[in-house]
């Protein structure tokens, strides 16, 4: 028995891509049709399972980066250090994610993304376990940074898998999930960190991360497919070293400037050396055969502006994420558990809105969606600046929710536009470049806001935090401008 049906590709049958026009009607035996549908559903199920493993593993290495944000004072007191020094337990891992991540992207192209992904999880587990036995601030900062550096291998590998599994017009939704995990996981870390530290102590956090990372490595080893390998991959060692040196020195000058003195030899020397290192980095990238950041792309509108826009948005998003818990606890006297419950409004909003990023792109196009997201973050900064008293919970929730909404719709749309603007062979480098700029934005935003707070603390604790949030407002306003300069592919 046969039946007339419309011809469908495997992806169309799975409901992943839109069906096009029909030129003819094919007659297919029912047995063949059933086999086709079974194979299609199996491929779809495998693709979903692969995406789930990728996102769960990325979440495992990402959410622990910020578990100590609300508890920095507790850890500092326990290790005989200061909150300013212990902030490097957050800054160091974020910086490692940005600087080391691109190298892992190229390593995946060379040795296979599955191998790099699994080894990265194992390394993250090992150094996380060692972090639990840290004996002073330097050892904790070092092991935390090494754990994050190993875990940063998961970001480029996950992006490479998504780009291979989904076609250009299919990527907005999975990229929405990926953006939620990479941007939302650190925020969830803040929510979970406070009650965990209060109940069990800060060292327990690392005892939890280690087995979770190993579990992710085991599942990834069994379920992830192998990827094609390239023979002509070259590592930009000079670029990585000069970028890392420049970023660390400038951040050191910003972070320690208030205690060293802004006009001291140490501060000026670190800042000047950092700028020189970044200039050397730019010169290196001009002549590198396989650069960490291809300078030629800075002249490509739909590569440069999406990357810059996301970097600026992350300065506001992650900068305020590091600052607001301290403002609520130290400035307004909130308990860590109360801070955690308020902070959850950001990842909750992000998780609810990110899957609908494709809807916004379809209606508005990538340019307007990016601009809308940046504008929402600008409004969020204004709302948070207005927080002045302990009875401002609704204003805190409004501001945090707006940041989650803005990043939730803008990040997937701009990432999808970036992926569609480069050749498939360049997607690994492009995604690594995007991760680099986003992480650098996050680190710089947090450092600048904390520095402004330290400088203006004499005006009052709450007021000084408000001044710091002005930095986020300026960054978000600039992101609206740079977002307006991209060209939508869908509209």
The string of DSSP codes covering 199-263 is HH-TTHHHHHHHHHHHHHHHHHHHHPPP----S-----HHHHHHHHHHHHHHHHHHHHHHHH-TT
Query: What value does the mean pLDDT of the chain take?
Result: 79
HSE-up of residue 217 (Cα within 13 Å, Cβ side): 21
Distance between CA atoms of 252 and 277, rounded to whole angstroms? 14
61-88: pLDDT as tens digits: 877 766 776 677 788 888 888 777 787 8
Average pLDDT rounded to a whole number, residues 354-370? 80
Task: Specify the pTM.
Answer: 0.71
Instruction: Tell me the C-alpha to C-alpha distance, in Å, between residue 5 and each of 16, 24, 145.
Output: 19, 10, 57
CATH architecture label of 26-236+288-483: Up-down Bundle (1.20)
Q: What are the residue ranges spanned by the domains of the chain?
A: 26-236+288-483, 237-287
Distance between CA atoms of 455 and 468, rounded to whole angstroms? 9
**What was the pLDDT predicted at 143?**
92
**What was the pLDDT predicted at 88?**
81
DSSP conformation class of 4: E
Instruction: Tell me the C-alpha to C-alpha distance, in Å, between residue 288 and each of 283, 292, 293, 457.
Output: 9, 8, 9, 45
Average pLDDT rounded to a whole number, residues 221-231? 76
Among 33-47, 274-288, 432-446, where is mean pLDDT lowest? 33-47
pLDDT for 434 beyond 80? no
Contact (CB, 8 A) for 191 and 347: yes
pLDDT-derived band at 9, boundaries 50, 70, 90: very low
């Amino acid at each position: 028995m046969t039946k007339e049906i419309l011809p469908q590709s495997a992806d169309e049958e799975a409901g992943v891509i839109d069906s096009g026009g029909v030129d003819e009607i094919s007659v297919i035996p029912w047995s063949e049709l059933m086999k086709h549908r079974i194979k299609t559903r199996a491929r779809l199920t495998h693709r979903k399972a692969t995406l789930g493993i990728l996102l769960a593993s990325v979440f495992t290495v990402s959410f622990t980066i910020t578990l100590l944000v609300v508890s920095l004072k507790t850890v500092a007191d326990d290790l005989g250090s200061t909150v300013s020094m212990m902030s490097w337990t957050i800054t160091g891992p974020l910086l490692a994610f940005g600087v080391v991540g691109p190298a892992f992207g190229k390593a995946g192209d060379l040795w296979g993304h599955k191998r790099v992904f699994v080894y990265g999880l194992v390394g993250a587990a090992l150094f996380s376990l060692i972090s639990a036995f840290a004996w002073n601030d330097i050892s904790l900062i070092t092991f935390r940074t090494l754990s994050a550096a190993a875990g940063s291998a998961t970001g480029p590998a996950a992006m490479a898998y998504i780009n291979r599994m989904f076609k250009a017009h299919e990527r907005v939704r999975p990229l929405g999930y990926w953006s939620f995990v990479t941007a939302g996981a650190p925020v969830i870390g803040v929510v979970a960190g406070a009650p965990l530290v209060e109940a069990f102590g800060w060292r327990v956090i690392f005892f939890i991360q280690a087995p979770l990372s190993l579990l992710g490595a085991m599942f990834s080893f069994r379920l992830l497919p192998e990827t094609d390998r390239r023979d002509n991959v070259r590592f930009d060692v000079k670029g990585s070293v000069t970028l890392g040196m420049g970023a660390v020195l400038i951040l050191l000058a910003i972070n320690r400037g208030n205690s060293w003195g802004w006009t001291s030899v140490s501060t000026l020397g670190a800042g000047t050396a950092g700028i020189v290192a970044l200039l050397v980095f730019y010169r290196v990238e001009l002549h590198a055969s396989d650069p960490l950041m291809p300078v030629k792309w800075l002249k490509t509108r739909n590569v440069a502006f999406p990357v810059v826009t996301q970097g600026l948005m992350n300065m506001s998003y992650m900068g305020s994420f590091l600052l607001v818990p301290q403002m609520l606890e130290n400035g307004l006297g909130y308990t860590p558990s109360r801070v955690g419950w308020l902070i959850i409004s950001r990842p909750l909003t992000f998780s609810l809105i990110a899957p609908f990023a494709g809807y916004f792109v379809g209606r508005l196009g990538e340019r307007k969606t990016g601009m809308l997201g940046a504008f929402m973050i600008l409004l969020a900064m204004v709302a948070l600046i207005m927080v002045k008293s302990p009875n401002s919970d609704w204003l805190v929730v409004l501001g945090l929710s707006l940041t989650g909404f803005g990043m939730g719709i803008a990040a997937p749309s701009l990432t999808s536009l970036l992926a569609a603007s480069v050749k498939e062979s360049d997607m690994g480098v492009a995604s690594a470049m995007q991760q680099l700029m986003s992480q650098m934005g996050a680190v710089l935003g947090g450092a600048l806001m904390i520095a402004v707070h330290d400088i203006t603390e004499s005006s009052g604790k709450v007021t000084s935090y408000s001044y710091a949030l002005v930095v986020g407002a300026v960054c978000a306003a600039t992101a609206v401008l740079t977002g307006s300069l991209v060209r939508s592919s869908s509209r």
